């Protein structure tokens, strides 16, 4: 049985890294993918990319079509501070309810995160607030249990937003998930936040009183993730990040590039989903367990 771990594990549960660990850097984009398949583990971590776009892909397939044990998964992700792009995909296959191929089953996870500090300036009223929003289109496989021997599958997409006063406590943190098994949405939400769902469009909005910010600065973490098990899939695409300011207030980012580029429509989708066709997975015995890519788009 093949076994390899390429980097220290980012994916406790679904990959939430601690705020304390992230505080060591001031801005970055980071992409990750993880496929844990019965010892044939594939892990990709772009590391903290300070310029350009972070990308990751990971894949594992065990067995061949027609084998008793035939399952696998692929995950991919893209993250860019400048373009405000976060995109994740997870695709897996294999696993039957109450049969010899269960619990061995396909599984995959993709994660995309950006971190930056925004500093606000201008004249504002004591109760003036700034609102940050993160939106994305979620697709996922709903779990539908069937009789023994039938295939099972489930997919979960999720998002997180966290705002921290510079060098101080977290002011707001919110999680938003599709129905399913996400351990992320078992964490408590707090602060001034709103969760919205409009069909496949999921949105988190968080508001912060400018008077509560130390030096007018807000450390912002934005995060999308997708996880699938069995014959299922999940994705979060077409992300949008917006900053709504009071009249007379402006902001600058520590990175100097936050939301300064206009993303090309569908560019991230094409780049990542090209890695994730079920036909490609089924025809591949085993992918490179440490496939990594990071750098500027194009």
Q: Is residue 91 part of a domain?
A: yes
> Alpha-carbon distance 146 to 88, whole Å?
28
Q: Is residue 1 part of a domain?
A: no
- What does the pLDDT profile of the chain (298 residues) look like in tens digits? 222 223 323 343 334 343 334 445 689 999 999 988 766 688 999 999 998 999 999 999 888 887 777 889 999 999 999 999 999 999 998 877 766 555 568 899 999 999 999 999 998 888 999 999 999 999 999 887 767 777 788 999 999 999 998 777 899 999 999 987 777 788 889 999 999 999 999 999 999 999 999 888 999 999 999 999 888 999 999 999 999 999 999 999 999 999 998 766 554 443 333 334 333 333 333 333 333 333 322 2
Whether 291 maps to a domain, the answer reads no
Task: Count how many domains the chain has.
Answer: 1
What local confidence, expressed as pLDDT, does residue 105 receive? 80
pLDDT at site 265 = 56
**Beta carbons within 10 angstroms of residue 247's beta carbon:** 9
Question: For the whole model, what pTM was predicted?
Answer: 0.81
Distance of CA 179 to the CA centre of its chain: 16
Residue 258 carries which DSSP code? T
Distance CA 168, CA 17 (A): 18
At 66 the pLDDT is: 78
pLDDT for position 217 = 92
Question: How far is Cα of residue 249 from the mean position of the Cα atoms in its chain?
Answer: 30
Q: Which uninterrupted H or E stretch holds 21?
A: helix 19-22
Task: Kindly state whether residue 12 falls inside one of the protein's structural domains.
Answer: no
Beta pairing partners, 159? 176, 224
**For residue 27, what are the domain limits?**
23-283
Residue 6 falls inside a structural domain: no
Asked whether 122 and 175 are in contact (CB, 8 A), the reply is: no
Is residue 290 one of the residues assigned to a domain?
A: no
Q: Are 222 and 206 in contact (CB under 8 A)?
A: no
Pairing of strands 217-230, 201-209: unpaired
For residues 158 and 176, is the Cβ–Cβ distance under 8 A? yes
What's the residue count for the chain? 298
Please give the sequence-ordered ranges of beta strands (E in DSSP) within the chain, or none if there are none: 28-35, 42-45, 53-62, 71-80, 85-93, 107-122, 129-140, 153-165, 170-177, 193-198, 201-209, 217-230, 232-244, 249-253, 292-295
Please give the Cα distance from 279 to 298 (Å, whole number): 26
CA angle (103, 281, 157) in 5-degree steps: 65
The answer to whether the Cα torsion of 199, 107, 273, 238 is positive or negative is positive
DSSP 269: H
pLDDT at 106: 87
> What pLDDT score was predicted for residue 96?
74
Hey, what long-range contacts does 172-175 have (CB within 8 A, 24 or more apart)?
A: 172/206, 172/207, 172/208, 174/204, 174/206
């Amino acid at each position: 049985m093949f076994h390899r771990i390429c980097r220290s594990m980012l994916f406790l549960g679904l990959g939430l890294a601690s705020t304390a660990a992230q505080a060591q850097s001031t801005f970055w984009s980071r992409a990750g993918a993880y496929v844990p398949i019965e010892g044939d583990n594939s892990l990709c971590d772009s590391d903290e990319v300070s310029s350009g776009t972070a990308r990751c892909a990971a894949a594992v397939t065990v067995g061949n079509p027609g084998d008793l044990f035939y399952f696998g998964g692929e995950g991919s992700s893209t993250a860019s501070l400048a373009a405000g792009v976060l995109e994740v995909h997870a695709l897996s296959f294999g696993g039957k309810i109450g049969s010899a191929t269960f619990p061995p089953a396909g599984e995959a996870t993709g994660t995309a995160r950006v971190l930056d500090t925004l500093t606000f300036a201008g004249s504002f009223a004591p109760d003036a607030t700034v609102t940050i929003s993160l939106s994305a289109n979620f697709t996922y496989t709903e779990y539908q249990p069937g009789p023994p021997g039938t295939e099972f599958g489930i997919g979960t997409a999720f998002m997180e937003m966290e705002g921290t006063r510079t060098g101080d406590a977290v002011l707001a943190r919110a999680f938003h998930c599709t129905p399913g098994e996400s351990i992320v949405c078992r964490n408590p939400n707090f602060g001034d936040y709103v969760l919205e769902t409009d069909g496949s469009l999921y949105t988190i909005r968080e508001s912060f009183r400018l008077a509560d910010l130390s030096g007018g600065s807000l450390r912002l973490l934005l995060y999308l993730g997708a996880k699938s098990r069995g014959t299922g899939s999940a994705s979060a695409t077409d992300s949008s990040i917006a900053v709504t300011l009071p009249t007379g207030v402006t902001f600058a980012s520590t990175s100097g590039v936050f939301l300064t580029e206009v993303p090309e429509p569908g560019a991230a989708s094409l780049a990542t989903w090209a890695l994730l066709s079920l036909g490609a997975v089924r025809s591949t015995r085993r992918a490179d367990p440490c496939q990594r890519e990071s750098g500027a788009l194009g």
